[in-house]
Structure 1
């Protein structure tokens, strides 16, 4: 089964193009509806003076946020005019403190969110991705700058550690895994004690096969670098077009801060990454 509702979020014209193009391509290929959310993030909208009036700085920032939102709406109408995909748009100015709550409400009925990859040249993107996954609870496909949507027959590298996050990401990625020419299950330094110790990845491979995927299990000791480096090397060795991985944050109580393997992947991958928590 394909994704049927795909969403993307535009906060400025600089980060809009690659992710939007990828979302359009996927929605067209899968006959999905595309939900486009224009979100102007007001960073300091809670700052007021003693009389309860917004300070001049906040007033200026609010004016700039409205102007950016209007600019995005105009740009989007021109961009979408030649497209035949079914799409809709919602535009809003959102206080940064409630961005997660806003996205949780707007994204709860979508199957996949397509965004730009964080840690490139947009400081807002990491926060958007974190809110989408850890608060809105949606899987996110991240597109590197200059990148595009994974091709239908592209190989996939799936980072597997038998954890809940990895399984969530695997389930979320099934529409890609079913059409991939091969899914490389990359297991790095598997635990010596556990339910899969005799056959690491065997249960996952059976699960994927029954869903129509073509899995290959690759078990490696952690001797050639970090987990992120080994996943990226595996993707390069197999000419993969997509990496699938669980997402891990330091805090689940507030906006998550990516660290370790997750952040390293997001900083260095030059192909799309699909993550879920």
Structure 2
């Protein structure tokens, strides 16, 4: 699909690198940039200590809101001189609901970009990733420090396992895959047979992508006792991939997001930009 609106999230104690990278992505594909500045609010005090702590809590909220307004103004000034269309908004959700708030905002974008500033750690990173993947219905692009995010990569690796999430990621990235010079569909320990990955694993999705004009190669790799994520990351590095496309796996239980093993391992080491969808 075409990416015409890209969302990125920033905190009050973050730098501007993510915003600049997101702006460059927008310039690359002629998209609009939406920036959401977020401060996570502490929950109100309860129980025996609620009354004596209420003044301190109110003061903390006042300071948080001042910092949020300041950050919003800073980002607005930064984007005023940018050669793209952009808008800036802010949110002050309680921590427990932050992923839902961010996810709802991401529904009005085609892609959420999570850059190195946000990926450096903290609760806001986790809430942004959870919201983008579980509450938006849209894909997410992650890029760590030192990587070069692009929506027009020449070499792309697709992690394929025939699951619905992988299919969704491929569909979301179809324009990227069509325009790339080289697309490698990578299957680790593929299983043959009906109800698994077909008589010739990878052939069906390769045909599907070829009909869209993608230049596809199917790579079937053994894990040889290694973690699937490690096999995928090494292969992406070996082929000099500029982007990895993959499905994100996990489920929601009591509002806690539990990621599957491969997804979690990839998130812990995003050395190559990764486009994820669920």
Same structural fold, with TM-score higher than 0.5 when normalized by the shorter chain: yes
2:212 corresponds in structure 1 to 211
For the pair 1:166 / 2:166, whether they are aligned, the reply is yes
Distance 2:32 2:120 in 1: 28
Aligned partner of residue 70 in structure 1, secondary structure: helix
1:70 corresponds in structure 2 to 69
1:46 corresponds in structure 2 to 44
Select the structure that is richer in helix.
2
Aligned partner of residue 9 in structure 2, secondary structure: strand
Provide closer, same or farther for how the CA distance between residues 151 and 34 of structure 1 changes in structure 2, counting only shifts above 3 A.
closer
Contact conserved, 1:49 with 1:55, CA < 8 A, in 2?
A: no
Aligned partner of residue 20 in structure 1, secondary structure: helix
Q: What are the residue-to-residue correspondences of 1:195-274 with 2, within 5 Å?
A: 195=195, 196-223=197-224, 225-251=226-252, 254-274=255-275
Distance 1:214 1:132 in 2: 29
Distance 1:269 1:51 in 2: 43
Cα deviation, 1:112-160, whole Å, max 9, x if unaligned, reads: 1111367633342022101211122221101102433226243111111
The more displaced of 32-41 and 247-256 is: 247-256
Contact conserved, 1:45 with 1:62, CA < 8 A, in 2?
A: no
1:37 corresponds in structure 2 to 36
Distance 2:29 2:119 in 1: 29
Cα deviation, 1:212-258, whole Å, max 9, x if unaligned, reads: 22221100122161110011001110111111111112535523132
Structure 1 stretches of 4+ with a deviation exceeding 6 A read none
Distance 2:59 2:6 in 1: 34
In structure 1, stretches of 5+ residues that fail to align are: none
Contact conserved, 2:192 with 2:200, CA < 8 A, in 1?
A: no
Distance 2:155 2:115 in 1: 21
Distance 1:172 1:47 in 2: 43
In structure 2, stretches of 5+ residues that fail to align are: none
Q: TM-score, normalising length from structure 1?
A: 0.89
Aligned partner of residue 244 in structure 2, secondary structure: strand
Distance 1:46 1:137 in 2: 31
Q: What are the residue-to-residue correspondences of 1:133-212 with 2, within 5 Å?
A: 133-150=133-150, 152-195=152-195, 196-212=197-213
Deviation at 1:179, TM superposition (A): 2.1
Contact conserved, 2:152 with 2:179, CA < 8 A, in 1?
A: yes
Q: TM-score, normalising length from structure 2?
A: 0.89
Contact conserved, 1:19 with 1:148, CA < 8 A, in 2?
A: no
Provide closer, same or farther for how the CA distance between residues 103 and 210 of structure 1 changes in structure 2, counting only shifts above 3 A.
same
Provide closer, same or farther for how the CA distance between residues 166 and 87 of structure 1 changes in structure 2, counting only shifts above 3 A.
same
Aligned partner of residue 55 in structure 1, secondary structure: helix
Deviation at 1:49, TM superposition (A): 5.6
Distance 1:162 1:247 in 2: 13
